[in-house]
């Protein structure tokens, strides 16, 4: 089977529930989407609003509170929201990059701990976090175990590599970057497994292809930050279950045999993606959704991935929410029907934001001021928020 660029994009959008909002519970939608980027607390809410029919933010609040959806540091050493059943295998699969990113960082050196000693301190910290603990409480525990000079460096590493869940702290989006509370996950992380055939990495690869495929091994490595000694054995273990399809450039891509690969001409409705939406970050070659010519405008040099406008299955611009309403900037001329569809989406979005954070992503607005000369339109006016569907 050969997939065109449009066909490849439609396949991924179908799995990401971006061709049609799905009638699913929040935990089931999170499982289907694989992993929702949660670097910004509002991120999982906007991701599910784009993907779930009749999405209610309170339902995600409840899922975080019950632990049906878990927020933790996982793929690419960033915060993700994942289904509770995926949490443990995802964390184990990510053991090497999580540990390497912190234990090899110069900011860890003042802790004066060998990796083996760090494991012991980690286990003591997890015992203290059997019940929810604030960051200050866990730092105090590390100070008791080490001393005031070594504890901050140890916390720098352990808050990332230890199996800690983030505990909800309240509105508007369940978590606050200023007040962090943690709880030990279960089961606790094992010591770093050697490269090779790890069932957890195989599980992660299978879930990745279900949510983001068809994809290459390089795409999987980009999504996870796992290196070839971990990705290659997982691919070879899973290969008997997989099929190969030819991508737009003729290169073979891996896929699950029964995964959706819809007609490339299937309509793709407009969407207003939140910052760091996973569909923009899950591949080494992102052109299936994000044109190469726009990548520098959407993904900034410091990694900020901006709130994007999706039309006909690909990114065509950016959007922002202000005190006055919702605006969109288009990098190319759009037909009237596309603008009409975006206005309908913006009216619904404004209703979602009204009770949470009307000016969501406000602290990133500097990027808006650096846009090239593009067409900007007001999609929704705050004065009309009470009249939206």
pLDDT of residue 329: 97
What is the reported pLDDT for 190? 56
Q: Give the residue-averaged pLDDT of 88-115.
A: 95
Residue 177's pLDDT is: 81
**Residue 362 scores a pLDDT above 80:** yes
Element (DSSP H or E) covering residue 308:
strand 308-311
pTM for the whole structure: 0.95
Q: How many CA atoms lie within 13 A of 58 on its CB side?
A: 2
**CA–CA distance, 63 with 253 (Å, rounded to integer):** 34
Angle at 19 between CA 57 and CA 329, to 5 degrees: 75
Q: What is the pLDDT of residue 178?
A: 84
Helix locations, the chain, DSSP H: 5-15, 26-33, 43-51, 57-66, 84-93, 95-103, 115-128, 135-145, 151-161, 199-212, 217-224, 228-238, 295-298, 336-354, 366-369
Report the pLDDT value the prediction gives residue 63, as an integer from 0 to 100. 98
The string of pLDDT tens digits covering residues 233-260 is 999 999 999 999 999 999 999 999 999 9
The predicted pLDDT at position 280 comes to 97
Give percent above pLDDT 90 in the chain. 91
Hey, which residues does 164 pair with through a beta bridge? 184
pLDDT bin (cut points 50, 70, 90) of residue 114 is very high
Whether residue 180 has pLDDT greater than 80: yes
The reported pLDDT for the residue numbered 187 is: 57
Query: Which has the higher per-residue pLDDT, 181 or 373?
Result: 181
Side-chain half-sphere exposure of 112, counting CA atoms within 13 A = 7
């Amino acid at each position: 089977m050969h997939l065109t660029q449009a066909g490849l994009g439609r396949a991924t959008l179908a799995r990401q529930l971006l061709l049609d909002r799905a009638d699913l519970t929040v935990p089931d939608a999170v499982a289907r989407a694989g992993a929702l980027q949660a670097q910004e607390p509002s991120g999982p809410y906007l991701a599910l609003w784009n993907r779930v029919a009749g999405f209610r933010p309170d339902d995600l609040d409840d899922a975080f509170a019950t632990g049906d959806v878990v927020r933790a540091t996982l793929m690419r050493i960033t915060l993700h929201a994942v289904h509770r059943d995926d949490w443990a295998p995802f964390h184990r699969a990510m053991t090497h990059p999580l540990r390497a990113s912190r234990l090899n960082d110069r900011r860890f050196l003042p802790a004066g701990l060998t990796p083996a000693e760090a494991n012991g301190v980690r286990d003591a910290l997890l015992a203290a976090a059997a019940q929810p603990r604030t960051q200050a409480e866990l730092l105090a525990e590390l100070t008791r175990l080490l001393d005031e000079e070594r504890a901050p460096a140890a916390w720098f590493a352990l808050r990332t590599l230890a199996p800690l869940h983030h505990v909800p702290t309240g509105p508007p989006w369940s978590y606050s970057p200023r007040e962090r509370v943690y709880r030990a996950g279960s089961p606790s992380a094992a010591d770093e497994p050697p490269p090779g055939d790890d069932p957890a990495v195989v599980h992660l690869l299978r879930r990745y292809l279900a949510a983001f495929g068809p994809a290459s091994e390089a795409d999987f490595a980009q999504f996870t930050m796992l290196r070839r000694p971990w990705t290659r054995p997982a691919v070879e273990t899973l290969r008997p279950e997989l099929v190969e399809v030819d991508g737009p450039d003729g290169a073979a891509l891996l896929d699950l045999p029964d995964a959706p690969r819809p007609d490339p001409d299937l309509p793709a409705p407009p969407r207003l993606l939140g910052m760091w939406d996973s569909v923009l970050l899950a591949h080494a070659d992102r052109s299936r959704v994000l044109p190469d010519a726009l990548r520098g405008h959407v993904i900034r040099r410091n990694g900020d991935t901006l709130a994007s406008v999706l039309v006909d299955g690909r990114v065509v611009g950016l959007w922002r929410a202000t005190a006055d309403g919702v605006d969109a900037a288009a990098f190319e001329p759009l037909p009237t029907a596309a603008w009409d569809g975006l206005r309908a989406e913006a009216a619904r979005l404004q209703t979602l934001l009204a009770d949470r954070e009307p000016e969501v992503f406000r602290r990133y607005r500097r990027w808006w001021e650096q846009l090239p000369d593009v067409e900007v339109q007001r999609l929704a006016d705050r004065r009309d928020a009470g009249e939206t569907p």
